[in-house]
Homo-oligomer: A and B are copies of this chain.
Amino acid sequence: MSAAPLRQTRQRVAVAETLAAAAGFSTAQQVHERLVARGERVALATVYRHLQALAESGLADVLRTPDGQVAYRCCAHGQRHHHHLVCRRCGHTVEVEFGTFESIVEELAARHGFAEVTHELELFGICPRCSAG
């Protein structure tokens, strides 16, 4: 019934470390590229599997890039739901929390009688660094 225990493999560690080291969001492909560049040999399919696992266990955030890829980001904060401001150019990410917004969503869902409402807010822009360059 409970989930099977996860094994500590070279690949699992490598994927988790690579994701953790990244500043913003990374796609499976990007994580794989970095691993290869680092000299680690990990199959792309394995990267996909680990990223999914990380997301499911709540250790990573998931979002979809505007062009449809799935991107993951190591999630330092525990349970706290938060949003992101992502630079379209360099991927630099600012983590954002604003209670005001959360409560607006709740109030809104209630007003329309919607249940089990999940919300995902994506903000894409150009960060100050890229604007300057």
Contact = CB atoms under 8 A, between A and B. Distances in A.
How many monomers of this chain does the complex have? Answer: 2
Contact of A127 (B100, B114, B124, B131): B114
Interface string A60-103: 00001000101000000000000001011000001010101100
Looking at chain A's contact residues, is the secondary structure mostly helix, strand, loop, or mixed? strand
A131 B112 contact: no
Interface residues of A, number: 33
Contact of A122 (B113, B120, B131): B120
Contacts of A112: 85, 94, 127-128
B114 A87 contact: yes
Interface of A: 64, 68, 70, 85, 87-88, 94, 96, 98, 100-101, 104-105, 108-109, 112-128, 131
